[in-house]
Structure 1
């Protein structure tokens, strides 16, 4: 026994390449001895991934089918609500399926129990992970309450603190907006603190017409009323109540401001505002009424003749040219 220990201690240490080859031999022996178990684990992992993909496909197909069914879209409000719930369900299902798949894969390599014990015992690490995921948790919780309170739905035109656009989709963590320019904006739900929803209820179209102080205001108001009422009669599909001329709302430095208000259907306020402005402009052109605008007057300036010493009066001549009211005595 003593001779064997002595012989092992006296062995020459192997070189780096020899150590690497020795480790590779151990790995090869491990794969050779456990080839069947490793192959089975790989097959189970492939099956788990295939089932996860299949589950996500079925969920996506089911939600898409629900969003396209006419029975769930009997009204615009109901349709938007269903679309919102389906996109949210799709997002939540994706997280759940991926989480379960990862746990099953770890279990195949007997890592689940080890990680569970590690998470339970590593209190400081758990606190650090929780602190780092604080923003993620805030996004998910805020998104859940926004959907639960039905603050907005897919298809609504909304304005948040910094962005404005149409809601394309809602997820557990983010909201997708499409702006007027076609840009897609992805907003974390936790950063949304205020929402203005333009798609809920009726809207009001308001325009302000600038008129000159010299014009007859009563006549101008009659022309404006005639123009906007004619426009309203031709566009009853977007206007809910006839437009009303509010009268003078402000006196500016070079114009009198007259406002017009009109109640319109949801999301039609910008269209009606543009139409009423065009109708007023055409009515003013037809009636010969001019809009006030800033004018720049250019005046020709010719400097007077420059005085010389010969032009300055002296002696008696100086006294004669001094007005009596000046009361200045001549020193000469």
Structure 2
């Protein structure tokens, strides 16, 4: 930028222009130059982010979260530098401005302790990998898919399309259900007089084996036996494993099929 200013000054001086006017033109040109550089950088960042989003399905969740954070920090830092350069072109001394900004930042930080707490918590959440974009988590009593992990707050979307903004400093406990296979559990009741041998029969085993039709299943359903007994009822359990967060619909289907199986046995044996 100094070379551009020197060139413009020499070129305009050759036209015998007023030095004050020359200085004004050179300063304006320098400011426009800094604004153009900032705009080009901003457009480049947007293009990079758009290409990044196009490839999100092929990226690791951790990479997406950290990359978005770094790009945001770079953008804000660059525009801060651009603002300082523009002020410098007006002939302002940056040292007092930066010193005042430091004092002001300390005062604001002292009065915004909650904000600082959220930011510190956000850094720990991101760099410790507690959760990433796309993870299914539970924060307090709210559970859903992480849409964005920011420095100050996290956005979580549940199955009702309700978006909750949670301040990072308010996250005292976090349950992350992503990363490993999900366990599906189907529990059902039969009477104490019901013959449990039906659940080790070939027909029931064929029912469980039929769930190979679901590609997301990683471990076929298996009968676990009696998990609780009451005066007139027995509680039984079947478990299976699926790819992460794909067990809900299969639980519903398996619960329906087991109830149909039990109903058929009841009609045959007349034991309810």
Range of TM-score over shorter length = 0.7 to 0.9
33, 42, 45: which one pairs with 1:56? 42
181, 184, 187: which one pairs with 2:166? 187
1:150-195 CA-to-partner distances (Å, cap 9, x unmatched) read 2222222222224322222333333222221122323232222333
99, 102, 121: which one pairs with 1:142? 121
Distance change (3 Å), C-alpha of 1:37 and 1:183: farther
Q: Which moved more, 1:46-55 or 1:197-206?
A: 46-55
Q: Does the 8 Å CA contact 1:238/1:265 hold for their aligned counterparts? A: yes
Root-mean-square deviation (CA, aligned residues, Å) is: 3.5
1:242-282 CA-to-partner distances (Å, cap 9, x unmatched) read 22211111234653211111122222221221121121122
2:51 — aligned with what? 65
Q: Does the 8 Å CA contact 1:173/1:188 hold for their aligned counterparts? A: yes
2:180 — aligned with what? 201
Distance change (3 Å), C-alpha of 1:240 and 1:219: same
* Structure with greater proportional strand content: 2
Distance change (3 Å), C-alpha of 1:183 and 1:55: farther
Distance change (3 Å), C-alpha of 1:256 and 1:145: same
Residue 237 of structure 2 aligns to a residue in which SS?
strand
Q: Which moved more, 1:221-230 or 1:83-92?
A: 221-230
1:283 aligns with 2:261: yes
Q: Does the 8 Å CA contact 2:219/2:240 hold for their aligned counterparts? A: yes
Residue 240 of structure 1 aligns to a residue in which SS?
strand
Structure 1: give runs of 5+ residues left out of the alignment.
1-33, 293-332
Q: Distance in 2 between matches of 1:262 and 1:291?
A: 28
Deviation at 1:59, TM superposition (A): 1.6
Q: What is the TM-score with the length of structure 1 in the denominator?
A: 0.63
Q: Does the 8 Å CA contact 2:221/2:240 hold for their aligned counterparts? A: yes
* Larger relative contact order (CA 8 Å, sep ≥ 6): 2
2:132 — aligned with what? 153
Distance change (3 Å), C-alpha of 1:158 and 1:39: farther
Q: How many residues align?
A: 251
Q: Which has the larger radius of gyration?
A: 1
1:269 aligns with 2:247: yes
1:249 aligns with 2:235: no
